[in-house]
Amino acid sequence: MRVLLLIFMFNQLGFAQIISKPDSTVLAFHQKSMLYSAIIPGAGQIRNSVLSPRHNNAYWKVPIIYAGLGTATYFLATNQRMQKELKFEYTQRLNGGTLNPAYAIYDNPAVLQLYRQYLDWRDLSILGFAAVYLIQIAEAGAEAHFVYFDTSPDLSISIDPVYQYGGYVGARLNFSFR
């Protein structure tokens, strides 16, 4: 009996949305959104908002993207300036030149330690900038996948208890596509 039930269950055909294979020369909707975001940060989010049939407003993400990129750029520039300043200070100390009074309280190993610290922070700022840039590209592509996703109330799924003849209890999974 169980074998027949398994054969019957796996023999049923299920149909979902039929997706035709796109032409390889044409970019898909999500690929265009990602390309737009790669060229101009935030452009993919704006494209998804404009072309969405449900008016999925993603405009609010653009200021967040530019705030993240601007913050990373600010820290990148600050850390780059500081590491250059500390490198100049350290070379001046080794060559016997004039010293910056701001670093008079530090000895040579401390200045070198500060230089390395700002160098590491500069590298982390570069990674932060790249992370924000790549995440906004990926987010534009992920959102573009859902622009035409059907979320109408005509789609439903339900699980109902079933009592079968002979004392068997089970569950029935119903999909409704209207």
By residue range, what is the domain housing residue 84?
29-150
Q: What is the pTM of this model?
A: 0.68
What pLDDT, on the 0 to 100 scale, is given for residue 90? Answer: 94
The answer to the question of residue 135 being in a domain is yes
The answer to the question of residue 133 being in a domain is yes
pLDDT-above-90 percentage for the chain: 49
Q: Among positive and negative, which fits the CA dihedral 65, 71, 76, 81?
A: positive
Largest CA distance in the chain: 99
pLDDT (tens digit per residue) in 125-140: 999 999 999 999 999 9
The answer to the question of residue 13 being in a domain is no
Task: Report whether 38 contacts 31 (CB < 8 A).
Answer: no
Task: Report whether 63 contacts 55 (CB < 8 A).
Answer: no
Q: Is 44 exposed, middle or buried (0-12, 13-18, 19+ CB in 10 A)?
A: buried
Q: What is the mean pLDDT of the chain?
A: 83
Number of domains in the chain: 1
The answer to the question of residue 58 being in a domain is yes
| Window from 25-34, 61-70, 110-119 with minimum mean pLDDT | 25-34
The answer to the question of residue 21 being in a domain is no
The answer to the question of residue 170 being in a domain is no
Q: Give the count of alpha carbons within 13 A of 118, CB side only.
A: 18
Q: Residue 142: enclosing H or E segment and its boundaries?
A: helix 108-145
When pLDDT is cut at 50, 70 and 90, the band that residue 64 belongs to is very high
Tell me: pLDDT of 176 over 60: yes
